[in-house]
Chain A
Amino acid sequence: MSGGERTYPDPVINLETERFWAAARDGVLLLKKCRACGATHYYPRAICPHCLSGDTEWVAASGKGRIYTYSVMRRVEKPFAIAYVTLEEGVTIMTNLVECDLDRIAIGQAVEVTFRTTEGGHALPVFRPTSGAAR
């Protein structure tokens, strides 16, 4: 982690999402997929938001995606980039962008998941420019 990075608050974890955070600790980004309608959704729920079926399963995401949009928060001690990243699986998720020049982020840029440790020791999925891609 670079010295200029903000500290990350802990996520709120509940019965529906504890599996997500356990997987994150193992370096895996999980999504939820519905066995009834086939749709993948995010943030993960026990109940599919597309058809309300309770027959949902966890699937591992590729961890690869592209920046849908972002904003660099400037009026804070340690400026940081918040973003939405559209994953290869088709869902768009809120995240932070790390290991990048905050002045050279671009919509459409290829990114991959990595993890940061929160204040309370949880693993938080964040994204960085894909290895080999322009930073």
Chain B
Amino acid sequence: MQRQCKAYIAGAFEHPTRKAVDKTVPQLHAEVALGALLDAGLTKNDVDGYFCAGDAPGLGGIAMAEYMGLNLRHIDSTETGGSSYVVHVGHAAEAVAAGRCSVALVTLAGRPRAEGVATLGVRNYGAGVPDVGFESPYGPVITNLYAMAAMRHMYQYGTTSEQLAWIKVAASHHAQYNERAMLRDVVTVEDVLNSPMIADPLHRLDCCVISDGGGALVIVTPEIAKAIGPRCVKILGHGEAIKHLNGGQVDLTYTGAVKSGPIAFAEAGVTHADIDYVSIYDSFTITVLESLEDLGFCEKGKGGRFVADGNLISGVGKLPFNTDGGGLCNNHPNNRGGMTKVIEAVRQLRGEAHPKVQVPDCTFALAHGTGGSIGTRMGSATVILGRNDA
């Protein structure tokens, strides 16, 4: 029996650029929008809902709606950092189900490489943000915040650098087949451990790449999906959560996935054993390890053992992940990895991933995003998707 769902992903597009010296950010948004609409066989005149986050220039979605000439009756500019686009998939499904729109467009784009934005700087969201006075003087760049989570996880659960390295090794095995991936060389655990230490215990190869580019998704009603055809992918479940420092009751060994995951699984009505493929936001290796534990793919604290020995490598392990090479090897448009996680999950469910990494008979996939920092506060989002006949 086929599962009912309230909305489908009909179009998905990843921008081929990795360094966009000759394009503006609005232009990149429009290019990914066009790509996803062409993929769905729709036009911009079909779009009546638009979803974007803080990377879209202007006030919410207003400026981009004007730039692209969209005629909208539903907008949503929820901002949860790199996980925003996973949230948008869920919100778009809800909006479509509620009749608020019938064709929803989600876009992400940016060009931090072309603009030379350093990630070793302290990310400052503005002087009015209440935490900033008590953190920015201490030099919290993104890497050392995630590193503190890794350090505590190692202390508490015995997780090792070798185990974290396996996450990068698996990503590199997939990236070798992706001609657009920034890092295509297959690496070993030793390569990761021998790469320069950036912030203890994270080495250079524990960190994702910096890239320009973007991506877009088109989400439609079941009626439109039926007309478009079997490449449409079912949106079965969605969960989102914010996790923060809780007034000083700090625990960096888990993420917001402890909430977003169960909500998504419950709505989808599937179990972990049903999931054939996962896209897990991989800003750093530790992000993947904590997310997999929190999503329930292994017992808390045993993520290190779970990811070791190639368990995340397609065709080798039990849980193939990030078969495009992920943020660790492929790309990380505008330092926001949620969009590309959903796109690769769509490829897998369509059977359109690279043949060397395509999961056979891929029926159910999970995409998970983490925005902000697991070392402080984050927006976590999970979607569970199904093949058209799932």
Contacts and interface: CB of A to CB of B under 8 A. Distances in A.
Interface string A39-79: 11111110011100000000000000000111111111000
Contacts of A11: 133-134, 136-137
B389 interface: no
B132 interface: yes
Contacts of A9: 122, 136-137
Q: Majority SS of interface residues in chain A?
A: loop
Interface residues of B, number: 41
Contact of B130 (A43, A76, A80, A83): A43
A42 B144 contact: no
A13 B133 contact: yes
Contacts of B151: 69-71, 107
Contacts, number: 117
B45 interface: no
Interface string A5-40: 010111111101100000000000000000000011
Interface residues of A, number: 46
B148 A83 contact: yes
B132 A42 contact: no
B248 A93 contact: yes
Contact of A91 (B130, B141, B144, B247): B247
A118 B198 CA distance: 25
A118 B137 contact: yes
A86 B135 CA distance: 15
B250 A73 contact: no
A108 B152 CA distance: 11
Interface of B: 120, 122, 127-128, 130-141, 143-145, 147-152, 155, 196-202, 245-250, 252, 376
Interface of A: 6, 8-14, 16-17, 39-45, 48-50, 68-76, 80, 82-84, 86, 90-96, 107-108, 118, 124, 126
